[in-house]
Chains A and B, each alone.
Chain A
Amino acid sequence: DQQVKQNSPSLSVQEGRISILNCDYTNSMFDYFLWYKKYPAEGPTFLISISSIKDKNEDGRFTVFLNKSAKHLSLHIVPSQPGDSAVYFCAASRNLIFGKGTKLSVKP
């Protein structure tokens, strides 16, 4: 019974275009969401977060949008760069419940 779902296992985007990674959750009690990025053979690294009282948080090329009524959040990366190629995990508080991840490939 997955509480945090990332339904797209992979995404391929051209360099310079926008990458949109999606995440759905089922528990309306979640009050904080985070995105982590993971390279092979490394641990996840924190990317960006959003509190449930907000609907948008922006940090440079990364923006996270939260739609509480739809229990949906998305991570936008623009412009996408080849170095962004990694697996992206959506996670929800507390104790960080992770989705299965989306592997992003940015092609030059």
Chain B
Amino acid sequence: NAGVMQNPRHLVRRRGQEARLRCSPMKGHSHVYWYRQLPEEGLKFMVYLQKENIIDESGMPKERFSAEFPKEGPSILRIQQVVRGDSAAYFCASSSTSGLGEKLFFGSGTQLSVL
């Protein structure tokens, strides 16, 4: 009974490369959320997706960042042309519904380091 699975755990990229972060939600969960944690900061909401739909992307930077949650397969957070400021821990969470106060179950995160 796997929880939320994120891979890779650690990802190193050089400036200008692309980063792809994957998230497989808990079984039976169709709602996925992405958060970013900068050093010494809290988790900041980036995007909320349901299968094949972006519901809320109010926290996503306007450029270079995109997310998807296809009908089949994991959710992907894609960062194009990475810069040093993108270095952070990226957490994915999932839930079974989107009700008020719905508990989110988090993965262990992907630590992105941009050289």
Interface residues of A (CB under 8 A from B): 4, 6, 31-32, 34, 36, 41-46, 49, 51, 89, 91, 93-101
Contact = CB atoms under 8 A, between A and B. Distances in A.
Interface in B44-70: 44-45, 48, 56, 58-59
17 contacts: A41-B108, A41-B109, A42-B108, A42-B109, A43-B6, A43-B109, A44-B43, A46-B104, A49-B103, A95-B45, A95-B58, A96-B35, A98-B42, A98-B45, A100-B40, A100-B41, A101-B42
Interface string B76-108: 000000000000000101000000110111111
Interface of B: 4, 6, 33, 35, 40-45, 48, 56, 58-59, 91, 93, 100-101, 103-109
A94 B33 CA distance: 12
B91 A32 contact: no
Contacts of B107: 43
A94 B98 CA distance: 9
A34 B108 CA distance: 19
Contacts of A98: 35, 42-45
Interface centre among A44, A46, A99, A101 (most CB of B within 10 A): A44
Interface centre among B59, B104, B108 (most CB of A within 10 A): B104
A91 B91 CA distance: 15
B111 to A, nearest CB: 8
Contacts of B91: 43-44
Interface centre among B42, B44, B108 (most CB of A within 10 A): B42
Contacts of A97: 45
A97 B43 CA distance: 8
Contacts of B42: 4, 6, 89, 98-101
